[in-house]
A and B are shown apart, each in its own frame.
Chain A
């Protein structure tokens, strides 16, 4: 079987709020001192694929794919250090903030190219959303570009009866599904798909694994058309919200008085609900 995992490189989302700044011209976060990292849900997707390979009796080959800047090679090397077999980087060609539709189109074209050369992918895994913009549309749009069925918020893939058994999280609990390849899933996190730390030996080995680089021209895509023609949304405005709420703190000389004030406020709201 063959699995493909899509990765996105993002600004480290753990930058503290006090260091977070907007670049008004770019309508995006200013990089500042922040590192570039692999989006966490994408790393959960890599881990989920690796665990599927470990549970399968048949041979499973895993490919990582990224549409990004040349710096995104680091994400792909890290995925290979986690023991993904091979990787492909589609270089972004100056389109610094492509929308989900553009990303979906490019990834679909790259997947078709990789499939021409190496056979079909049984499953495509995409992180549920990214830690930067967090729009969470890429997986669904890619599924449609590929014309494949999809399931969202999946936490594990297991070899099943002729197909693949999926477990996923919904707002009412866990659902189990049977999927017939080829299909796409978006991956969410749980306690079992925490990304593994690569072993030193595997980090060294990752530099010997194949990393293919493709340009948009290689995929017969027109850079300008991708940038504008297929775009469905753009950032109109971005700003840091002001902390406008003025908190009224309970006052009084004794704890008793302060708690009494708090109780009255709470009672007032609860009583108004009726």
Chain B
């Protein structure tokens, strides 16, 4: 029998990305008539394990003291051993799109003699192969790849997938002890960026500003709007590169790939890199003076108007509606 594995880092918990990866895994497992297994690298909270057991047929947790602190070589070794501990007969091993999963994925594929693919927005089985859809040429094209070797080790645009449904009965949970070598590259320090509010990736509403704002001050005006609707603030590359806001505000293909329920793009024209970063948003609204700006081809509603005219009035109206 062919099963599907979702491989998660215990330290990240069962976040929205893991939920999406598990959701993609469950849909794939059903299509191939197999089970969904969760392979957990390192210690996870009881809540995370319970949440995984609720959606997976089997949960295998890899235990080793060293795994409390992410080190790429050891996480990779752990994933390889967990793959075997779970039975090894996987058509696909799916991962989320956090930095750590991204760097592990191709190397795990190589160790397992499988195929690797990155940033898949959709996957489906086709006989013994997996088909994975993603963007190419900086968002100008969509490509569908045929992954020819099993297992297909794929990291997903995980937040774009529906969370996995809970099963009738929780899956079996087992813990296996792993043997890990000391790493020859060791992460020795982390400078975690100061973060106000929730991670952009997990924000349900985002208000982003772009080049058309012309400077840092208008972001204060956008902050009032964001506060009125409980939104986090983001920005385009132009606004970050100009130093108007910190670099970790940047929404784009190579930085924050967001998936809010509502994304409001203000004075953002819609460069392809930005469109890729916001591509998983459920609803997009745009405020821009240029009716021909690409953003208007990627939003559900908008207004062709100067933000200076719109934002204060809009904020006021939304404040009174929230009332």
**Known contacts A151-B72, A243-B297, A259-B314; A232 and B102 CB within 8 A of each other:** no
Binds B, one of A58-66, A67-75, A84-92, A261-269: A261-269
Closest CB in chain B relative to A255 CB, distance in Å: 6
**How far, in angstroms, from A13 to B276 measured CA to CA in the complex?**
15
Q: Residue A52 at the B interface, CB < 8 A?
A: no
**Residue of A29, A186, A248, A255 touching B137 (CB-CB under 8 A):** A29
State how many angstroms separate the Cβ of B299 from the closest Cβ of chain A: 5
With an 8 A cutoff between CB atoms, is A260 at the interface?
yes
With A170-B99, A177-B186, A243-B298 in contact, is A236–B314 under 8 Å at CB? no
Q: Is the CB of B144 within 8 A of A237?
A: yes
B99 close to A267 (CB less than 8 A): no
A259 touches B303 (CB 8 A): yes
Chain A residues with a Cβ closer than 8 Å to the other chain, count = 76
With both chains docked as a complex, state the minimum distance between the C-beta of A181 and any C-beta of chain B, in angstroms.
Answer: 9
With A172-B192, A176-B188, A237-B144 given, is the CB distance from A150 to B302 under 8 Å?
Answer: no
Q: Contacts A140-B110, A270-B229 given; indicate if A176 touches B144 (C-beta within 8 A).
A: no
Contacts of A25 in B (CB 8 A): none
Q: Within 8 Å of chain B (Cβ to Cβ): is A217?
A: no
A233 and B301 in contact, given A13-B137, A247-B286 (Cβ under 8 angstroms):
no
Q: How far is the CA of A148 from the CA of B75 in the complex (A)?
A: 15
The answer for the CA separation of A150 and B145 in the assembled complex, in Å, is 26
With contacts A259-B303, A269-B262 taken as known, whether A240 is within 8 angstroms of B140 at the C-beta atoms is yes
Instruction: Select from chain A the residue with minimum beta-carbon distance to B207.
Output: A266
Q: Which residues of B contact A239 (CB under 8 A)?
A: 141-142
B144 and A236 contacting across the interface, CB-CB below 8 Å: yes
User: Would you give the 0/1 interface string for B24-62, flagging 1 where the beta carbon is closer than 8 Å to chain A?
Assistant: 000000000000000000000000000000000000000
Q: Mark A203-242, 1 if CB is under 8 A from B, else 0.
A: 0000000000000000000000000000111111111110
A192 contacts the other chain (CB 8 A): no
Residue picked from A135, A175, A237, A270, most chain B C-beta under 10 Å? A270
Nearest A residue to B190 via CB reads A175
- With contacts A141-B107, A273-B205 taken as known, whether A13 is within 8 angstroms of B138 at the C-beta atoms is yes
C-alpha gap A269/B72 in the complex (Å): 40
Within 8 A of A (CB), among B74-123: 98-100, 102-107, 109-111, 114-119
Say yes or no for A33: interface residue by CB 8 A criterion: no
Among B138, B146, B186, B262, the residue within 8 A (CB) of A270 is B262
Residue in B115, B193, B264, B304 whose CB lies within 8 Å of A172: B193
Contact A255 B309 (CB under 8 A): yes
Complex: A175 Cα to B111 Cα, angstroms: 26
Given contacts A151-B72, A241-B141, whether A233 and B115 have CB atoms under 8 Å apart is yes
Evaluate contact between A20 and B141: CB separation under 8 angstroms: yes
Shortest CB distance B33–A (Å): 23
Q: In the complex, what residue of chain B is closest to A153 when comparing beta carbons?
A: B99
What string of 1s and 0s marks CB contacts (under 8 Å) between A147-176 and chain B? 001111100000000000010011111111
Which of A1-9, A110-118, A126-134 contacts its partner? A126-134
Give the residues in chain A near B198, CB-CB below 8 Å: none
A249 contacts B301, CB within 8 Å? yes
A180 within 8 A of B: yes
Residue of B nearest to A256 (CB): B313
Contact of A260 among B106, B188, B189, B317 (CB under 8 A): B317
Whether B183 lies near A141 (C-beta < 8 A) is no
Which residues of B, 276-323, contact A by the 8 Å Cβ criterion? 283-287, 291, 296-305, 309-310, 313-314, 317-318, 321-322
Query: Of all chain B residues, which has the CB nearest A185?
Result: B185
Q: Which of A175, A258, A263 is packed against the most chain B CB atoms within 10 Å?
A: A263
For A51, what are the chain B residues with a Cβ–Cβ distance below 8 Å? none
| Contact across chains for B305 and A132 when beta carbons are under 8 A apart | no
Residues of A with C-beta under 8 A to B187: 175-177
Q: Given the complex, which residues of B lie within 8 Å of A186, measured CB to CB?
A: 103
Contacts of A135 in B (CB 8 A): 117-118, 134
Contacts A150-B103, A232-B149; A255 near B193 (Cβ below 8 A):
no
Please give, as numbers and ranges, the residues of chain A lying within 8 Å of B283 by CB-CB distance: 269
B184 x A149 contact (CB < 8 A): yes
Q: Any chain A CB within 8 A of the CB of B143?
A: yes
What is the chain B residue whose CB lies nearest that of A177?
A: B187
Question: A179 at interface (Cβ–Cβ under 8 A)?
Answer: yes
Interchain residue pairs with CB less than 8 A apart (17): A104-B110, A134-B136, A135-B118, A151-B185, A171-B201, A173-B190, A183-B185, A233-B115, A233-B147, A235-B146, A236-B144, A237-B144, A243-B297, A258-B305, A266-B262, A269-B262, A270-B262
A interface with B by C-beta (< 8 Å)? 13, 15, 17, 20, 22, 29, 100-101, 104, 129, 131-137, 139-141, 143-145, 149-153, 166, 169-180, 183, 186, 188, 231-241, 243, 245, 247-250, 255-256, 258-260, 262-267, 269-270, 272-273
Since A136-B102, A137-B117, A140-B104 are in contact, a sample of 12 more A-B pairs with Cβ atoms closer than 8 Å, ordered by chain A residue number, is A104-B110, A178-B185, A232-B115, A233-B115, A236-B131, A238-B141, A239-B142, A245-B284, A245-B297, A249-B303, A259-B305, A273-B205
